Chain A
């Protein structure tokens, strides 16, 4: 349950008490159990405060962009530093008031200061005709804004920082030294750690920050994978098949990202890293059932294993696997293990460049087992996902049919049969669900 659910429940309690649905004791217990932390800003507060700050900040940057060259250099420098000083004073006042400051005021002050910092650097580089491309500017801007996330605990600046470092990573192409490349993205992401005081974290991240953080991590880490896959043979190009497998390892890492017991118990919708990681892994799995694709993956994995970055990633993944085993997260472990199947196939393939059906069959078998397990678990009285299992089996059969050399007529008939079977299963599951949970009349 998120804050809005708790708040809704608390609002209903007086009416339920009046209607005799709840005793006073039961209502008190519910109030104690579903406390709303008012110090955490609501989404509307963040959005309104951030929008105001964004408008002022972008307005400031646009005014600077006009270039007031009628004024002398010192006067223009004063224009650069005055907004920065003003926003710093506002943030200091907010810090002094500590918990007494409203959440939206804290958010607005932090975002305004971050934008004023960017405007100041932009104006100074404009006045002195400094060169440098915008990603370089963005990098320093993000670094100077990061401490505001820690001290003012601003969600808006955290989101701004996560977007900024992801955009920076995406733009750092090949030919750069490692310290100016997406390889430092993990360090930049770790910079947000003081945002959560204590371990395990005392406060939960809002859903919006979780989604932005997951997407930022995907973009940043995938950029690093592309960067390490570059080959320089007089000109730069990439080994596509290598970074695709590295992306899959990243997907597995995200899916298995360690969670506390409360985190594991949360619904999947509140775990964007599991949703996006699993989607990639299942898509990759279906694609790997095609023999040409699995050949490319084997080649890519064989080359990737020569890269130290890949071994670092595998070491992190091994740690995550151990922690996931301790938490008994079998479902995500089953999905994430798809990424490691090339490691099983490589020792049995003499030359990864050769045609080998082994990986294709391994993935097909693995996905089939996942699909069947998801269905069987439900009927064994455990928590399963029968519809997802059936959909996975359907997709798998469709993919196999595409690669088969059957006639169009046979394929068409097979698709019709699969479609009918899928619909029948869906109908059967709906009836079963109704039998287990009869409607309240």
Chain B
């Protein structure tokens, strides 16, 4: 048996484990140690051929006021400071090129920057759901899109990373609502 192919195979096999494991490690840390913030959002229902059905989560806030001397460009990575309001929902109050010294913040990318405003790309956009529940989610979304309650994204935030933990409506988990409707 030749040694070099075996060594290469070992490295490849380790790499195939390391890539998903590193993702698991960072996201588990964020989920267990991160601060829970809530965001108002909308969520239509598309499909990914490899990962199945998901709700395309789109937080309501897409624009942030910035000072013109920040000179932001498209696709630039910046840090967004999150502030929770009296209604319990968090909003981005400022953008900075370096991580803020205190408070909760996440890394985002700028989409467009013009004058004193910048549109941003949130670091989460998908909430995967069971294929059986997906049509129900579609129907439910069509029925509730015009209500005032709105969908809430529950996000865990730690050291600039954000993991979408759950979606809820009126304090109730989205998955639970759908499961009840399917019954």
Contact = CB atoms under 8 A, between A and B. Distances in A.
Please determine whether chains A and B interact with each other in the same assembly. yes
A91 B10 CA distance: 11
Given A67-B131, A147-B12, A98 B50 contact: no
Given A95-B1, A98-B1, A128 B163 contact: yes
16 contacts: A65-B53, A67-B129, A69-B129, A84-B16, A118-B50, A121-B19, A124-B23, A126-B51, A129-B54, A129-B163, A130-B126, A134-B48, A144-B16, A147-B11, A151-B12, A175-B74
Interface in A118-147: 118, 120-131, 134, 137, 140, 144, 147
B9 interface: yes
Given A124-B23, A125-B23, A175-B75, A134 B9 contact: no
A126 B124 contact: no
A92 B9 contact: yes
A121 B18 CA distance: 10
Given A128-B24, A144-B12, A147-B8, A61 B130 contact: no
Contacts of A147: 8-9, 11-12, 15
Contacts, number: 110
A140 B127 CA distance: 21
A363 interface: no
Main secondary structure of the interface of B (DSSP, over half): mixed
Interface residues of A, number: 45
Contacts of A120: 16, 20
A150 interface: yes
Interface of A: 61, 64-70, 77, 80-81, 84, 88, 91-92, 95-96, 98, 113, 117-118, 120-131, 134, 137, 140, 144, 147-148, 150-152, 175-177
Nearest to B50: A122
B9 A129 contact: no
Nearest to B134: A67
A175 B110 CA distance: 12
Contacts of A150: 5, 8
Contacts of A175: 74-75
